[in-house]
Structure 1
Amino acid sequence: MSTAALDPLAVATGRSHARAVDRKQRRALAGSVAEAQDGVISRAQLAELGISRHHVRREAERGAWRLHGRRTVAVHTGALSAPALRWRAVWEIGARIAAIDGVTALQHAGLLGFEDSAVHVSAVHNHNTEPVPGARVHKVIRRVGGEVLPAGLPRTRPEVAAVRAAHWAVSDRQAALVLLMVVQQRLTTPARLAGAQRAVRGRTRRAFIRAVVRDIAFGVQSLGELDFAEECRRRGLPEPTRQAVRQASGGRIYLDVAWEDHGLVVEIDGVHHRLGLNVTFDNLRQNDVTLDGERVLRIDVIGFRLESDRFMVQVARGLRCCSSATSAA
C-alpha cells in the first residue's frame, strides 16, 4: 500500500469532496421536486428521496433551507408564496385527511377578483388537526365521491369548492357572489354546480344556496317559484303581464314583465345574460322598447334574492312616474 493512500490530509480531502458532492446531490434532488411546489417540499417527500432528518437539519443550519412547521421545508430562505402556503397547510394538517377547499381552491384554479388571504382547508371531522398559521380548517362530515383532484396540490374540484365557500361565507351577499363568479369565469358549469349543491352537505344557509344555484342553473325560470306577480300583489302593486309581446325593428320580441297601461317594462336577467353576445342582444332589445316610448327596468335574479325590497321600491317608483307622465299627456 502506498504512503499517499495513508496520507491523513488526502483522506480528509477525499471525504470532504464526497460530502460536498452528496450535499449538491441532495439539494438538486430536493430542488427538482420543490420546483413544482413553489419551492417547498414535505419531509415525507424528502425521506422518499433518501434525505434524512439529519441532512435536513444540516441544510437549515447552513442557511440553505428553512423549516416551516413540523412537515414543511423550503429549499430557499425567502418568504413563502401563496401556492407554497397552500402546500404547507395541507402537509401540516395532514396530507391524508386535508385538501385545499373553498375560496382558496377556487383561487388556485384561477378565480380572479375575490379577495381572501386565508388558506381554507377541509378535513374529515373525525380526525384531530393542529392549528397552522394563516390556515382555516373546516371540518366536513364526509367527502363527496371524487371531489379531490387526483394530481398536483390536493384540492377540491371548483364546483364543490364553490358550494362550500358559499356555506362558509360571512354573508348571503358573499355566498351569492362566489357562486356567480365561479360560473361567470368558467371554472365550472351551471349543471356541475347544481350537482355539487345536491351532494355537498353544508351547515349554513342551505335554502338560500339551493335557491341561488337554481337561479344560476335555470335562470329566469326559477324566478317563477318566487312568483314576481305575487310579490307585486303583496306590495299592493298592479299585477303585470308576463311574456308580453312587442314588434321591434329586429322582429318580434318577448318581454319578461310589462304594465301596458303604464308603459313600464321589467326585464329579469339570468346569469346567461352576461355571457357571450347576450349583453349586446339585450341592449338592442331594450333600446327598441325605450325608443317606442316605454321605460325599462332591469332586475337580475341573484340581485332579486339579495335586494328584493330595493328592486320593488324601484318598480313602484317606476309605476308612479309612468302614471304621472300618462296623466300629464
Structure 2
Amino acid sequence: MCTGGSEPVVTRRSAGKVAGMNRHLRLHDQLLSTARALGADQGDVVSRPQLYDAGVPRWLVAREVRARRWRLLGDQAVCLHNGPVADVGHWWAAVLQGGPRAQLDGASSLVAGGLSRFTVDRVRVSVPRGARVRRTAQYDIRQTRRWQATDTTPSGIPRTRNEVAAVRGALWARIEREATYLLTVCVQQGLVSPSALGQEILRVRRDRRRGLLHAVVNDLLDGARSLGEIDVARDLERRGLPRPERQVLRRDRRGRYYLDLYWPRYRLVLEIDGIHHSWAENVVGDALRQNALALQGDTVLRLPLLGYRLEPEEFFAQLRTALEAAGWSARAA
C-alpha cells in the first residue's frame, strides 16, 4: 500500500516538471521572437541595450552566443544568427558600436543611401568631439569636429545627408582621383545635385582639398567651362604643344555652334565636355556635331573634365599623337 500510494505523488511531480519546462520553452521562444522583431529592420543586428530594454535577459544573450547561434560584432552589437552578415547588418553594427550619437558618414553613408559602383574598405562612422569612442578593428569610428545633429537623415539608419556625406567622403578620400570620382558619381547617379554640393562646400573652412572640391563642383555645374578651357590651354603651353584657337564658330544644317579648341592648320578639334554631355538629351546633338566635323575632314578628340582631373597625361598623349599625325613636329616648333 505504501508503494501504491506513492505513485500519484510521483506523477504529479513529473507533470509539474513538464509544465514548468513547457513554460520555460514558451518564454524562450517569446524572447527569441522579440529579439528577431528588433532586428528585422536592422539586418538581424541589435544592440545589447535594445535587447535588455525589450526584456531579453543577459543570460539568454550569453547562452545564445555561447551556443554559437548568435555572434558578437564588437562589444555592443549582436548578430541574431551565425551566418554571413549583410551590408545593412554591418552598417547597424558600426552605428551601434559608435554610441547614441553615431552616424554613418562619408562614402559609407552614400553606399547605405544607394550609391552603386563604389566600395568602401571599412564602414566609417562619425561621433562628435568629446564622445566616447569604442574602437574596433572591424569598423572605423572617429570623432570629428564637423559632426552636427542637423546633418543626420530624418529616418532609417542614422547617417549623414547625401550632400554632407559626399563632401566629407571627398575630403577623407585616400587620393585626389578618388575624391573627384566620388563627387562625380554622386551627381551622375542622382544622389545629390551640384548646387547642393556647392552649398555644402562653403561650410569647409580649412582643408588641403578645399580648392580641388571647388574646381570639381564648378565642372559639375558646367559654370567654369571657360575656366576649364583656360586650364587646358595653360597645360598645352606647358607641354610645348601648339596654341589653339578658342570658341571657333562653325555652322551645319542644324545651325551654328562653337568649337572649344581648334587647330585649323592641323584640322584638329578638341571638345571639352562637362558632365552635362553625358546626359541623354545632349548625347544625340553631340554625336551629330562630331559626325558633321568628321565629314568636313576634321579630327575630333574629346576631353571630359572628369578625365582632365583623373587622367590628364593619357588625354594629352592622345592629343600629341593626333597633332603629330597631322604634321606637327615638336622640333619644328
Instruction: Report the TM range for the smaller structure's normalisation.
Output: 0.7 to 0.9
Determine which of 303, 312, 315 is the counterpart of 2:307: 303
Aligned AA (1:69): G
Name the structure 2 match of 1:214.
Answer: 218
Could you tell me whether the CA contact under 8 Å between 2:245 and 2:261 is conserved in 1?
Answer: yes
**2:116 match: secondary structure:** coil
Name the structure 2 match of 1:78.
Answer: 83
**Counterparts of 1:176-325 in structure 2 under 5 Å?**
176-200=180-204, 203-218=207-222, 220-221=224-225, 223-224=227-228, 226-323=230-327
Aligned AA (2:103): A
- Please state how far the C-alpha of 1:135 moved relative to its aligned partner: 1.4
- Please state how far the C-alpha of 1:84 moved relative to its aligned partner: 0.8
Cα separation, partners in 2 of 1:220 and 1:280, compared to 1, 3 Å? farther
CA distance in structure 2 between the aligned counterparts of 1:145 and 1:65, rounded to whole angstroms: 33
Aligned AA (2:163): E
Q: Which runs of 5+ in 1 are unaligned?
A: none
* Identical counterparts, % of pairs: 37
Determine which of 40, 44, 53 is the counterpart of 1:39: 44
Name the structure 2 match of 1:147.
Answer: 151
Q: TM-score, normalised by structure 1?
A: 0.87
What is the root-mean-square deviation of aligned Cα atoms in Å?
2.6
Count of residues in Structure 1 that have an aligned counterpart in Structure 2: 321
- Please state how far the C-alpha of 1:233 moved relative to its aligned partner: 4.3
Match status 1:107 vs 2:107: no
Q: Deviations over 1:189-236 (max 9, x none)?
A: 111122222224674422212211221123552635844444444455
- Please state how far the C-alpha of 1:313 moved relative to its aligned partner: 4.5
CA distance in structure 2 between the aligned counterparts of 1:264 and 1:217, rounded to whole angstroms: 27
CA distance in structure 2 between the aligned counterparts of 1:251 and 1:110, rounded to whole angstroms: 41
**Counterparts of 1:153-168 in structure 2 under 5 Å?**
153-168=157-172
CA distance in structure 2 between the aligned counterparts of 1:289 and 1:215, rounded to whole angstroms: 25
Structure number with larger C-alpha Rg: 2
Aligned AA (2:119): E
Cα separation, partners in 2 of 1:62 and 1:231, compared to 1, 3 Å? closer
Match status 1:93 vs 2:93: no
Could you tell me whether the CA contact under 8 Å between 1:42 and 1:91 is conserved in 2?
Answer: yes
Cα separation, partners in 2 of 1:67 and 1:246, compared to 1, 3 Å? same
Q: TM-score, normalised by structure 2?
A: 0.86
**1:21 match: secondary structure:** helix
Could you tell me whether the CA contact under 8 Å between 1:34 and 1:75 is conserved in 2?
Answer: yes
Aligned AA (2:105): D
